[in-house]
Amino acid sequence: MNAARFATALRSRERLIGYWSVLDTPVATERIARLGYDYVCLDGQHGLLGYSGLLHGLTAIDAGGVSVGLVRVEANDPVPIGRALDAGAAGVIVPFVDTPEEAVAAVASCRYAPAGRRSYGPMRAALRIGPAPAEAHDATVVLAMIETVAGLAAVKEICAVPGLDGVYIGPSDLRIALGGATSTDPAVDREFEAALRAVREAADDAGIAVGIHTPDGATAARRLAEGFTYASVASDLTHLEQVARDHLGAARRPSDAT
């Protein structure tokens, strides 16, 4: 999978499965990127990575030779978006897109003039994506996060923005925005599932990709079966803790050996 192939698959609404990385651990990221995930997304918003972490993580993903690297940027701003793309990201996930105007701005930050406002300096990206502007545009995906009541209300208009390749649901923020006391509060399940259907339908009508973050592979499979076209699984930090806990529990259980 390279950036151009990934962009074609995502825009064709093929089913894609990704992994989420929040740790600045390039060797571990490289191993994950060899497993068969279509993409590995580095979390530049909530993850424990600075710019060097994003750069090293993207290099590690490419070294894995299987996945492409995406970045969830810290803000809908041309500077962090441009830096992620210059470092070699095949695309960006842009948080808190609440209006079609904000979606237009996200797309513009990923496009060189005259189509947008990305500054030309593709540093590492020139090795893999482009470097000609038209080639970079074809191979770079732009995904807008829907995670607020405002974004949900404007989702049809957001999905219709030219150049936007897909939307991505941030389930934790969206559930809280819908009145949940926590990011997993079951009291708002009905409202939450209705919101997911609204986003899927808007994306379907616009013919763009629609994705969601999930806590595990089983949930990812269920969401894909419901009609999402791509899904991200958990995170490296979450899995590290889960596996360590499971092994500790196994070690502490009384042995069955006689």
Q: Which residues are catalytic?
A: 46
With beta carbons less than 8 A apart as the criterion, state whether 216 and 173 touch: no
With beta carbons less than 8 A apart as the criterion, state whether 4 and 138 touch: yes
Q: What span, in angstroms and rounded, lies between the C-alpha atoms of 218 and 107?
A: 32
Q: What span, in angstroms and rounded, lies between the C-alpha atoms of 146 and 182?
A: 18
With beta carbons less than 8 A apart as the criterion, state whether 53 and 82 touch: no
Identify the DSSP state of 71: E
Q: What span, in angstroms and rounded, lies between the C-alpha atoms of 198 and 49?
A: 33
Question: What is the rounded radius of gyration, in angstroms, for the C-alpha atoms of the chain?
Answer: 18
